[in-house]
Each structure stands twice: as structure tokens, then as C-alpha cells.
Amino acid sequence: MPNKPQIKIPATYMRGGTSKGVFFRLQDLPEAAQTPGEARDKLLLRVIGSPDPYQKQIDGMGGATSSTSKTVILAEPTQPGHDVDYLFGQVSIDKPFVDWSGNCGNLTAAVGAFAINSGFVGKDRIPENGTCTVRIWQANIRKTIVAHIPITNGEVQETGDFELDGVTFPAAEVQVEFMDPADGEGSMFPTGNLVDDLEVPGVGTLKATMINAGIPTIFVNAEDIGYKGTELQDDINSDPKALARFESIRAHGAVQMGLIQNIEEAANRQHTPKVAFVAKPADYVSSSGKSIGAGDVDVLVRALSMGKLHHAMMGTAAVAIATASAVPGTLVNLAAGGGDRTHVTFGHPSGTLRVGAEAKEVDGQWTATKAIMSRSARVLMEGWVRVPGDRF
């Protein structure tokens, strides 16, 4: 029986913030993959090069890290007052599944530009020079995101002098606003507490702040788990026992947050929740060799994504950090010095990031109204991806 030839699918490979992903328009996907389900997941897995027992993704577009094993599908808006629907798929590297449970905040910075370039934004809304406001419906979490895209001579401006720690080269600044980032279906603090006792077998009972803003995130104190908060990737990722402990913390926290019914379910929900540890400011040297002083930051944060310490910070986790810092009494707020704040500058393995957030307490319940940060984005390649035809 002859093998089927490869099929060509229009796609764009983009960097957004400190992540990279393959972007598609929904109408360009094969018909079987235009609706959620097995066909779509199989397609995206093959595009990225997963599952790969070697964990290299050599036969695909993925980069063998959580930051580079990502896919985005944009479609006509389903909600009034929006320009585009944005659906994010986090592709597992070594397992055959795509996690649709959360957003990618970093790639959000690229969604606005892709929406403009792909015709989702009306030409009458794109200035000749200035800023185009793109109204994005984030379909995974059902939230509005507003991206402010710089325009020069009627086209997206990608080059510039904005520097983002974790990204080697400067680019144009893209301001992203996450509107009402807390979980609209439940409490921003799912347990009802700003700080909980989280019992983790083999680890102990940890103080934890569990928040759902931007993305569900579990924060613990660095010192409670034997760290300083100045660690870089190799300090954590080269230690299998440490990674197993963090996964256990994540799984038990997910149960306590009501995201899963039992810890076994965590294996099929790798993208959410995130787990992070915080510490008071201290001097350290970033992964690029840049010296970060204690006076340069309000708090230190290290976060894990897809089972590994992130090389910088996930955009959605940055929203969680900023929101938690704005609520007096959370572990993030206390590590940052306590009190009221509307922004936070935190240190991560690649450097620092400043994020603004607004939170308020109404009838005893905390909620976030907005979080805002600056990122950058750039088209790396555009054309077609090819996938073996036996997938369809």
C-alpha cells in the first residue's frame, strides 16, 4: 500500500514574549481539524513533533521546552465587541495529548499582530501610523484581552528598542491588558483563603497561596522547600527528585483548588495549575550573566511549567503574581513587603519584569479588575507546515 503524500497547511511561526508557537487560522485547517477533538489534537501533535520519547521534537516545529511546544488557532469572533477568538493548545512533549485548559500570556502578545496580518481586524480600525487596539476573546478561559499593536505605514511594526529579559534581541513594545483576569465562575481564591495549609505527602505541610487570576497558580515560600528564590533552571531541572516534589505539590494543590478530583488526574492536566515559589529580594546573577540587585526588584519568583522550571516567566503566571501581590496577606504580597500595591517588579531566572494589577475586595471577596504588562512579538517564518497525509 503506497504512503500518502504530505499535506500543506498555511501557518505562521511567531515569537510572543518569551515563547514561540505555530499560528493557524481556523479556516486553513483540514476540515476534520476545524472542530475540537481527536483529529485536531493529532494534527497539532504531528506539527510540533510529539509525542517524542527522545524529548527533542526533532521531527516537528517544537523546541523541546514548554515555552516552544505551543500552538494557536485564531477564528472569527464569537463574542460581540471583539475582533478575534484566540484558542491556545499546549502540546505535551513526550505524551500524546494537547492541553486546552489555560491561556498562554506570552503568545498573547503575538495574537494581535497575527490577527491584523490575517484580516481579522477591519482596515478602518488600522491607523496609518500609531497604535491599533485589538480586542481578543481568549476562548480557553473565556476572558477579554486587549493588545495594543504599534503600526507604521499601515503595517504591524515589529522592530524596536524594547528589551525583554529572556529574549535576546530588542523589538517593538506591545502592551497587553488582561481584563477581569480572575476566574469568572468562582472565587479568585478557590479555597476562600489567602493562605492555606497544603499537605503534601513526603514534603510536609506548606503554607500556600492558591489563586486563579491569569492562570491557576500555587505559590509557596522558597525557604519552606529549601530554596532561596535565586535559583536558575539547571538548579531545579537537573534534579529529578526536586521535579517530582514540585509535581506532587502541584497535584495536591490542584485537588485543593477543586481543579481535579484526585491527584492521578494531574498527569492529564499538565498546563494548569502552575506552581511557583517566592522569596524576599536578594542579589543574584541571571541566566544571561546580568547582575540583579536586591534593590532592583520587589520579590523573587520562580515558576514551573509543564514539569520544568521556566527560563523566564509565563505571561499568565505574571498576571497571577501581580494580582496576588496586590492583595494584602498573600504569600506573594508578604514576600514583596506587604501593604497595598498596584504594580510589582519581580525577579525571575532571566532577569526582571514589571507588571501592574488592580484588585479590590467586595463583600469579603477579592477580585481583579485588570492586569497589564509589556511584551514584544515577531514573525519568525510564514508559509506552510507539512504533515504526513496519513493523519487524515
**Helices 315-325 and 105-117, packing angle to 10 deg:** 120
Which stretch of DSSP H or E encloses residue 242? helix 240-256
Q: Are 369 and 359 in contact (CB under 8 A)?
A: yes
Q: How far apart are CA 240 and CA 234, in angstroms?
A: 11
Catalytic entry in 104, 132, 210, 313: 104
Cell numbers representing residue 205 in the block = 505541610
Catalytic entry in 61, 188, 313, 314: 314
Q: Are 221 and 334 in contact (CB under 8 A)?
A: no
Q: Is 314 a catalytic residue?
A: yes
CA-to-CA separations, 113 to 108, 250, 374, in angstroms, rounded = 9, 34, 14
Q: Is 104 a catalytic residue?
A: yes
Q: How far apart are CA 211 and CA 366, in angstroms?
A: 10
Q: How far apart are CA 166 and CA 328, in angstroms?
A: 29
Any idea what the Cα angle at residue 223 is, between residues 217 and 226, rounded to 5°? 100
The DSSP code sequence of 138-163 is ETTTTEEEEEEEEEETTEE----SB-
Q: Across the strands, what pairs with 170?
A: none
Q: How far apart are CA 65 and CA 12, in angstroms?
A: 19
**Which residues does the annotation mark as catalytic?**
104, 314
